[in-house]
């Protein structure tokens, strides 16, 4: 893996502060929001729909600490854009919103470097405050919304949203999960499209390269990937950009692209301070995870004998829960991945705990790929891959 220390010059104006929320386009927003509340420990937070005067689209907002998910569905049968999006991609992430400073400047800067502006800056307000927005197009059909608060906002989410119509009383009886923030969001690209996307973030959003791996570093007997992580100047937003690499069989990156119908968000990593308790709670709620083989933990114990760091957590418990460990000389991270959260093998979620480690689990990629390949085989998608591909290395 390669880590980058050169961030470039600090932008003269404007700032990307953090992830603000993620918007999913789904066939049934009410049921999707209920699924994430029930399985992942979110709670209903806000609502837009027929009851609030919104006649075209319904929005259910759920929250867990600083993580905000918005599920949207069309209300009318003639909603062409959303109907076509769902037909092509299935349920998935439509938009990744960033909280920003100086929305106008950031949009202008993006336009100067060729970004497609889906919606020019506009302002919305209600009795609780005023917010400026803009929308730009990123990879595939995915967009980024810029969210700028024009003074304090005292509402429960954003202008126009009301209290949820219903709060399921059974959620209070389920074990808390304690996921805190969005750690990173991964976008999968078709072969040869990773670098142009990375360059788009560098030019249009003034992001910089943060971390990368190539197919010489990350591969199994069947498949491999290349990945570059881009980040804002303050490094509070991290966006890994992946593409498949040549292998004997179809990689899980290519499987995603095939079933999603192009580039899109492959997974969302959510950070927790106590992954063991979080996974115990998530499993008790009925969530399914990818399973690492016991041989992984035997190899891990051998590697840790000569490591300069010590994992504080009980390795037996990590093995029981199938939590993966990656480490370097300074620290370690713990991570685990759900199975796809819809019928298409596309979007899944990651739970991650960091202990002085800023990587993305490169040491676990092989084990992750092998676990995914077992599921691919069960789906009949681990087919021989014969596409003619060029060799690439990215540093």
Q: Does residue 212 come out as left (phi exceeding 0), alpha (psi in the -120 to 50 range) or beta?
A: beta
Average pLDDT over residues 34-51: 98
Q: Work out the pLDDT band at 4, boundaries 50, 70, 90.
A: confident
DSSP 311: -
Q: What tokens were used for 365?
A: 């990629």
Distances from the Cα of 165 to the Cαs of 30, 45, 48, 162, 320, in angstroms? 11, 10, 9, 8, 40
User: In the prediction, which pLDDT does 380 show?
Assistant: 78
Element (H, E) at 338: none
User: In the prediction, which pLDDT does 6 show?
Assistant: 86
Distances from the Cα of 241 to the Cαs of 50, 172, 193, 386, in angstroms? 37, 37, 10, 23
- Which residues make up the CATH 3.10.180.10 domain(s) of the chain? 13-173, 181-379
Could you report how far apart the first and last alpha carbons of the chain are, in Å? 8
> How much is the pTM?
0.92
- Look up the CATH architecture of domain 181-379: Roll (3.10)
Question: Does residue 384 carry a pLDDT above 70?
Answer: no
* Spacing of C-alpha 68 from chain mean position: 12
Percent of all residues in the chain with a pLDDT value above 70, rounded to a whole number: 88
* DSSP three-state, residue 321: helix
CATH of 13-173, one of 3.30.2350.10, 3.10.180.10, 3.40.50.620, 3.60.20.10: 3.10.180.10
Name beta bridge partners: 229.
Answer: 211, 240
Highest mean pLDDT: which of 212-216, 250-254, 325-329? 325-329
Q: Compute the distance between CA of residue 311 and CA of residue 293 in angstroms, rounded to an integer.
A: 20
pLDDT in tens, 211-235: 988 755 544 555 578 899 999 999 9
pLDDT in tens, 134-151: 999 999 999 999 999 999
Q: Average model confidence (pLDDT) for the chain?
A: 91
Please provide residue 194's backbone torsions phi and psi, each rounded to the nearest 5 degrees. Answer: -65, -50
Q: Does residue 233 come out as left (phi exceeding 0), alpha (psi in the -120 to 50 range) or beta?
A: alpha
């Amino acid at each position: 893996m390669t880590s980058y220390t050169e961030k470039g010059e600090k932008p003269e104006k404007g700032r990307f502060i953090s992830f603000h929320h993620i918007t999913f386009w789904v066939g049934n927003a009410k049921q999707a929001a209920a699924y994430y509340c029930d399985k992942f420990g979110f709670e209903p937070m806000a609502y837009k729909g027929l009851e609030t005067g919104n006649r075209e689209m319904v929005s259910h907002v759920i929250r867990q600490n600083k993580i905000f998910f918005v599920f949207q569905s069309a209300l009318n049968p003639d909603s062409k854009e959303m109907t076509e999006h769902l037909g092509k991609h299935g349920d998935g992430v439509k938009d990744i919103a960033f909280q920003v400073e100086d929305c106008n400047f950031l949009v202008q800067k993006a336009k100067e470097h060729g970004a497609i502006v889906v919606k020019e800056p506009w302002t919305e307000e209600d009795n609780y405050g005023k917010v400026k927005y803009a929308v730009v197009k990123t990879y595939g059909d995915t967009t980024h919304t810029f969210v700028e608060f024009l003074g304090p906002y005292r509402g429960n989410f954003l202008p126009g949203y009301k209290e949820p119509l219903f709060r399921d009383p059974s959620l209070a009886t389920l074990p808390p999960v304690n996921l805190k923030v969005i750690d990173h969001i991964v976008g999968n690209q078709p072969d040869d499209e990773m670098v142009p996307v990375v360059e788009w973030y560098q030019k249009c959003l003034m992001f910089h390269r943060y971390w990368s791996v190539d197919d010489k570093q990350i591969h199994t007997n069947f498949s491999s990937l290349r990945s570059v992580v881009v980040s804002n100047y303050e490094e509070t937003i991290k966006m890994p950009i992946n593409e498949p690499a040549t292998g004997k069989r179809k990689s899980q990156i290519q499987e995603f692209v095939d079933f999603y119908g192009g580039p899109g968000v492959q997974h969302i990593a959510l950070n927790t301070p106590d992954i063991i308790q979080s996974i115990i709670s998530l499993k008790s709620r009925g969530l399914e995870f990818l399973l690492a083989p016991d041989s992984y933990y035997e190899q891990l114990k051998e590697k840790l004998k000569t490591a300069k760091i010590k994992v504080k957590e009980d390795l037996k418990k990590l093995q029981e829960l199938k939590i993966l460990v990656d480490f370097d000389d300074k620290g370690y991270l713990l991570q685990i991945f759900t199975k796809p959260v819809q019928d298409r093998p596309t979007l899944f979620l990651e739970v991650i705990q960091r202990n002085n480690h800023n990587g993305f689990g490169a040491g676990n990629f092989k084990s992750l790929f092998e676990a995914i390949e077992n599921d691919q085989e069960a789906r009949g998608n681990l087919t021989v891959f014969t596409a003619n591909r060029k060799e690439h290395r990215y540093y």
